[in-house]
Structure 1
Amino acid sequence: MPRCGYDHFKTSKERKGVSMFCAWGCRWSSSVVLFLLHVLLTLSPLHAIPTTFSVRVVGVIDGDTITVLLDGKEEKVRLYGIDCPEDGQAFGRRAKQFTSDKTFGRDVVIKPRDKDPYGRIVAEVFLSDNTLLNEALISAGLAWWYQRYAPRGENLRDLERQARKEKIAIWSQPDPVPPWEYRQNQVEARSNKKLKRRSIGGGR
């Protein structure tokens, strides 16, 4: 018996009548959750997406990006509304360790908000005690409020202000560089390096 729950018919005529059904029931059943998530994120307005998913965290890429197991497939999840320092920045590794300590090997609940250009699910991530990881990172002084992508994140803004006031972690530095500026500086530095090499090599 196939996974669709129905017997396949023996004659070609009968097979033709159910082939489309079985294409969904047999070949794609393991991807139903991912398909529905894609539809929700691409076709529905954000305020109309009530869906949450309980998933297991199987990897931590950096402070604001984790890898989860969703319907048997690994998916990258980018934390909504925040931006943690990069690995090459002060407190970048500490932010990653914070997220790892809270999530790695554990079940969390994700509430999708969007999908980014890299195909990652952008989401709020709730820990087992219902703590919102996005907010916890900002309160710990290990993330900026990413106003560009969460302009209405008043709570994130207020938590950042409090962390700044108390000079926690990144805010203990005299002039911390936001990660989006750091990334842009890295891109420009690599571009300048390429131009310099071409100049030395005679444009070859």
Structure 2
Amino acid sequence: MKRRSSRGSRFLWGLLWLSLALLQAWNHYRDKPVSTQPPEAESRFVALADAQLVEDAGNDGDSFKIAHDGSEHVLRLYFVDCPEKRLYPLVKNRLKDQAAYFGGLSIPQTESLGLEAKALTEKLLHEQRFSIQTRWERVYDSARSYALVFFDDGEELSEKLVRAGLCRIHTKGTWMPDGRREFDFETHLRALEKEAKAAKRGAWGRAKPVPSTSNP
């Protein structure tokens, strides 16, 4: 009986100490102002002007190497995912997902789209003036950093790729440097994608392979 009483006392003391700790935490945070800024506001975008595209075997439609201020960086676009340029074991499932996203294309058709996306991105970055906005947010545990690429006409590279029907809207998004919410910009991209589908541009104009049928 005495042992049970001792256990009960320890339990009550534990509850008391937990209550005190919670009360102290509440007192500490109750008057702390609630931020109305997006989560990324703590890490503002940095503008990289006068960057140049660096020719690299790893460049594709949504990921590429640039040179800026004496350093080289590999950047990855927010919001969009371009098809892979070639099939190898590591991207086999991703290529299948990309092919399905575009309505059931074949793997060769999807690879071809990846090469078109790479060509468009390189053409734009070579022929037009652009500015990069980045927060140096790492892509998983790789050396790449997420970024946005804006051209003099005000459009971002993801908009041009979606408009051309050369990518899927599928990856990490972000609040925009001009204050637009992630949801709003993605909704805008969805509208551009709808237009690309209606105009049968890029992937949306490809003839779907006819499923083979075997005789019983």
Q: Same fold (TM over 0.5)?
A: yes
Counterpart of 1:154?
187
Q: How many residue pairs were aligned? A: 132
Q: 1:139 to 1:106 in 2, by over 3 A?
A: closer
1:58·1:67 contact (CA, 8 Å) conserved in 2?
A: yes
Instruction: Determine the structure 2 residue equivalent to 1:86.
Output: 84
Match of 1:102 in 2: 124
**What is the CA-CA distance between 1:128 and the residue it aligns to?**
3.8
TM-score, with structure 2 as normaliser: 0.54
Query: Is 1:115 matched up with 2:113?
Result: no
Alignment gaps of 5+ in structure 1: 1-43, 177-204
- The TM-score with structure 1 as length reference comes to 0.57
Alpha-carbon distance change, 160 to 106 in structure 1, aligned in 2, over 3 angstroms: closer
Q: CA deviation at 1:174?
A: 5.1
Name the CA shift for 1:139/1:50 in 2 (closer, same or farther; >3 Å).
same
Deviations 1:8-57 (A, max 9, x none): xxxxxxxxxxxxxxxxxxxxxxxxxxxxxxxxxxxx94234142111222
| Percent identity for Structure 1 against Structure 2 | 30
- Where do residues 52-67 of structure 1 align in structure 2 (5 Å cutoff)? 52-54=47-49, 55-59=51-55, 61-67=59-65
Matches within 5 A, 1:1-204: 45-48=39-42, 49-54=44-49, 55-59=51-55, 61-88=59-86, 89-104=111-126, 108-113=130-135, 114-117=137-140, 118-146=142-170, 148-150=171-173, 152=183, 153-173=186-206
1:145 Cα deviation after fit: 0.9
Paired residue type of 2:74: K
1:77 shift after superposition: 0.7
In structure 2, what residue type is equivalent to 1:155?
H
List per-residue Cα deviations over 1:152-185 (Å, max 9, x = no partner). Answer: 2111122112212222111113559xxxxxxxxx
Quote the Cα distance in structure 2 between the aligned partners of 1:165 and 1:74. Answer: 39
Paired with 1:129 and 1:59, the residues of 2 have a C-alpha distance of: 24
Larger radius of gyration: 2
Q: How far does residue 107 in structure 1 lie from its aligned partner after superposition?
A: 5.0
Specify the code of the residue in structure 1 equivalent to 2:53: V
Which aligned runs of 4 or more in structure 1 are off by greater than 4 angstroms?
Answer: none
The CA deviation at 1:129 is: 3.6
- Consecutive unaligned residues of structure 2, counting only runs of 5 or more, are 1-37, 87-110, 174-181, 210-216
**What is the CA RMSD across the aligned residues, in angstroms?**
2.5
Q: Separation in 2 of the partners of 1:96 and 1:144?
A: 14
**Secondary structure in 1 matching 2:112:** coil
Note if contact 1:58-1:69 (Cα within 8 Å) is conserved in structure 2. Answer: yes
